[in-house]
Amino acid sequence: MAEEPKNEPDPAADPGDGGAPAGGTFGWALLAIVLVGAAVLIYASGFHIRDANRTAGGGTSAPAAATSAIGGPFQLTNHLGQAVTEKDFMGKHMLVFFGYTFCPDVCPTTLTDVSSALDILGDAADKITPVFISVDPARDTPEHLKEYATYFHPRLVALTGTDAQIAAVAKAYRVYYAKAKQDPGADADDYLMDHSSVIYLMGPDGRFRVHFSHGTDPKTMAKRIRDNLS
Ligand SMILES: [Cu+2]
């Protein structure tokens, strides 16, 4: 009854078993491992690119860790010259966009798209306040914003403030802005602003819901907004 198979050497594990054939097998195995590794890398990088595109362009909810801190308290002045805070916008969704009225392309396009999306939403658009926050308070006075707002949407609220107030709200929304380099001979008042072009949908509680990148078509925007209305 005594069995001692465990003590027997396993022939399959014998490394001295035939040089050339074993080396060939090992070579193919190595190649397979390399190929699988490459496939994994390609897949991983492809996924990363796709994910980055989605975050940048699709209007999908961004990862909670990156977005939970978007938004917050602010003190600004609206286009009627009234002081407002984030509390004045609670109870409705805010569709927030940062820009400036002298912007030659991005801002007018975005505001047109936002207005179109609200039109597509019909009655549901009443639950949303479109908000334009200036990153160029030096030129965007309330009077100037009032005139500008009427070009786009009758309910568009345009906000400006002191340099410090604008810096604070931009930081809260993680928006970048800076005066672009001027041409050497240009007027002091003749300048462009670089700025983030993300549109944020905030909930009636003031919390971030989804964002849209510049160029999101109004239909897509309207659908995503509708999905996020509470
Ligand atoms: Cu702009």
**Which CATH number does the domain housing residue 159 bear?**
3.40.30.10
Ligand 1 center to 27 CA (angstroms): 58
Ligand 1 center to 170 CA (angstroms): 14
Residues 37 and 120 in one domain: no
What is each CA distance from 55 to 52, 62, 73, 214, in whole angstroms? Answer: 5, 6, 25, 12
Q: Which of 96, 92, 91 is nearest to 71 (CA)?
A: 96
Residues 69 and 54 in one domain: no
pLDDT for 67 beyond 50: yes
pLDDT of 79-129, one tens digit each? 999 999 999 999 999 999 999 999 999 999 999 999 999 999 999 999 999
Domain count, the chain: 2
Ligand 1 center to 192 CA (angstroms): 9
Residues 142 and 73 in one domain: yes
Residue 12 forms part of a structural domain? no
What domain range is 35 assigned to?
A: 22-58
Residues near ligand 1 ion, CB 5 Å cutoff: 99, 103, 106-107
DSSP label of 182: P
Pairing of strands 93-99, 128-134: parallel
Residues 108 and 129 in one domain: yes
pLDDT of 116-136, one tens digit each? 999 999 999 999 999 999 999
- By the 8 A CB rule, do 162 and 76 touch? no
State how far the Cα of 73 lies from the Cα of 93, in Å rounded to an integer: 15
Residue type, 13: A
pLDDT for 9 beyond 70: no
